[in-house]
Structure 1
Amino acid sequence: MQLVFLLALVFALLVAVFAVQNAVPVDIRFLGWRFSNVSLVLVILGAAVAGALVVFILGVGREWRRSREIRELRAQNLHLSRQISQVKAASSPEKAGEAQETEGKGS
């Protein structure tokens, strides 16, 4: 986890250096909108932030699904453990009775 954080930090630093070195004004056209004389730094950093937000949202969704699955599996595990205990409890008197019958026949 620390390695991923370190790599993300290095990548963010590289993007920031690249953006600062390319600070010329540019014209942006997007879906019918037009922005004139926008600094390329803002465009690059804005795109990086938008990408980070998308990754964050997808990561939160994945973690939410995993936690829900873990919760369901724990509930299923508890249910199955209770069933095992009930089966063991139900079969214990029968085995004890069979053992006594076997001892009685051997005498």
Structure 2
Amino acid sequence: MKSALVLAIALAALMVTFSLQNSQTVQVRFLGWYFEGALVIVLLMSFAIGVLTMYLASLPARFAHRRQLAEYRHQLDTCNRSLDRLRSEAADEKPPQA
């Protein structure tokens, strides 16, 4: 827990340093859209768009894994019910020990 806090503080310090060192103004043109702002904002927006793209690209695999996990859970429940039924049948068939 403490190492995560130290890591978060270190990353925040690096981000502040990065922001201060890249504060010059840049112009960005894309498909008729025009933006003029700090370089750090442009870089962070590009990073955020990349993260969002990767997240959206991973969604189909996540859904497939969830579906597979649900199927495995259903199979496990079925096996557990069968095992309980067999155990109760075996207990009913055993003669009492004296």
TM-score, normalization by structure 1: 0.52
| Aligned-residue offset at 1:81 | 1.4
Q: Which residue of 2 aligns with 1:14?
A: 14
Structure 2 residues not aligned, in runs of 5+: none
Q: Which residue of 2 aligns with 1:104?
A: none
Identity of aligned residues (%): 28
How many equivalent pairs are there? 95
Q: Which residue of 2 aligns with 1:85?
A: 84
**If each structure's helix is expressed as a fraction of its own residues, which one has the higher value?**
1
**Aligned equivalents of 2:45 and 2:89: distance in 1?**
66
**Aligned equivalents of 2:5 and 2:62: distance in 1?**
18
Larger radius of gyration: 1
- Map residues 34-49 of structure 1 onto 2, 5 A cutoff: 34-35=33-34, 37-49=36-48
Q: Secondary structure at the match of 1:23?
A: coil
Work out which structure has the larger RCO, using CA pairs closer than 8 Å and 6 or more positions apart in sequence.
Answer: 1
Q: Is the 8 A contact 1:19 1:41 kept in 2?
A: yes
Q: In angstroms, what is the RMSD of aligned CA positions? A: 4.2
| Aligned-residue offset at 1:37 | 3.4
